[in-house]
Amino acid sequence: MTEVALIDAGGANLGSVRYALERLGVQVRLVRDAQGLEGVSRVILPGVGAAPHGMARLHAQGLVQPLRELQVPLLGICLGMQLLFDGSEEGHVECLGLLPGVVRHLRPATGIRVPHMGWNRLLPLRESALLAGVPARASAYFVHSYAAPLGEDTVAACDHGGLFAAVVQRGRHSGAQFHPERSADTGARILRNFIENEPT
């Protein structure tokens, strides 16, 4: 059975992500320090809330450098994805620096509410094992006020007053801005793809 490390970064989605993984037959190891990362085949960094708080917790747990040096695939979810980037406008905080770019606040506009909450479509931009078997323009569930801009690592975009990165991947580092644990079949397939497929 695959064992996946699930980082306890203080996010409210920790329990629902764990349950979603267990439904897929995955053995979950809850991790609160660097020692907990030893011997796992995959690592997931979930998160809900503010980037400064998320990074402060990772620093307090001694997980920042171990995550930067991780040699197995890593998936960030929601805030966890944002923390993979160089930094965030939210609190002007330095993040993990595993993906280039700065996470920025979504811009409200006529008919566009921030935070972005609810179902929205994924717009595939390039091939990735993460999206294997996911239909084009499949929907996923989002809750966020900040997002990463499009870049060469963007696998799929989403449009909410403008395009932003919804799925990203650079080598073994990947992320989903939405909540796969709340995104029905689409989310379950992406989690399964992360667990079963080697990064492309």
Q: Is the pLDDT of residue 55 over 70?
A: yes
Q: Is the pLDDT of residue 81 over 70?
A: yes
Q: Is 78 a catalytic residue?
A: yes
- Residue 1: what pLDDT? 58
3-196 CATH: 3.40.50.880
pTM for the predicted model, two decimal places: 0.96
Q: Is the pLDDT of residue 49 over 90?
A: no
Helix 184-196 vs helix 14-23: crossing angle, to nearest 10 = 70
- Residue 182: what pLDDT? 96
Q: Is 198 a catalytic residue?
A: no
Which of 100, 75, 76 has the alpha carbon at shortest distance from 86?
100
- Reported as a pLDDT band with limits 50, 70 and 90, residue 199 is confident
* Catalytic, out of 152, 179, 196, 198: 179
- Residue 12: what pLDDT? 67
Which of 140, 74, 148 has the alpha carbon at shortest distance from 106?
148
- Residue 155: what pLDDT? 97
* Catalytic, out of 78, 90, 158, 160: 78
Phi (first) and psi of residue 165, to 5 degrees: -75, 120
Please tell me the distance from the alpha carbon of residue 144 to that of residue 157, in angstroms, as a whole number. Answer: 14
pLDDT averaged over every residue in the chain: 94
Chain segment 120-154, per-residue pLDDT in tens = 999 999 999 999 999 988 999 999 999 999 999 99
Query: If you average pLDDT over residues 34-62, what whole number do you get?
Result: 94
Q: Is 181 a catalytic residue?
A: yes
